[in-house]
Amino acid sequence: MGQNYSLTSSLDGKISITTFGNENISQNNCIILVHGFKGFKDWGYAPYFGEYFASKGNFVITFNFSHNGIGEKLLEFTELEKFSNNTFTREVTELEDIIKAYQNNIFGRVENPKIGLVGHSRGGAIALLTVSKFKSVKAVSTWGSVATLDRYSERQKQNWRDKGYFSVMNMRTKQEMRLNISLLEDLEENGNGSLNIEQAVSNLNRPLLICHGTEDLAVKLDEAKQLFDWSDKDITEFNIIENTGHTFGCVHPFEGTNDKFEKLLNKTEMFFRENVF
pLDDT digits (tens, 9 = 90+) for 178-219: 999 999 999 999 999 999 999 999 999 999 999 999 999 999
**Contact (Cβ atoms closer than 8 angstroms) between residue 95 and residue 133:** no
Q: 140 falls in which pLDDT band (50, 70, 90)?
A: very high
CA distance 168 to 17: 26
Report the pLDDT averaged over residues 265-269.
98
pLDDT for the residue 22: 97
Query: What domains can be seen in the chain, in order of their start residue?
Result: 3-152+191-275 (3.40.50.1820)
Q: Using one digit for the tens of pLDDT, what is the confidence trace for 143-162?
A: 999 999 999 999 999 999 99
pLDDT for the residue 171: 87
pLDDT for the residue 74: 95
pLDDT for the residue 109: 96
CA distance 187 to 161: 13
pLDDT for the residue 277: 86
Higher per-residue confidence, 135 vs 171: 135
CA distance 106 to 65: 18
Give which of 193, 9, 190 is closest to 101, Cα–Cα: 9
Q: 1 falls in which pLDDT band (50, 70, 90)?
A: confident
CA distance 78 to 65: 14
Q: Using one digit for the tens of pLDDT, what is the confidence trace for 66-76?
A: 999 999 999 99
- Percent of residues, the chain, with pLDDT higher than 90: 99
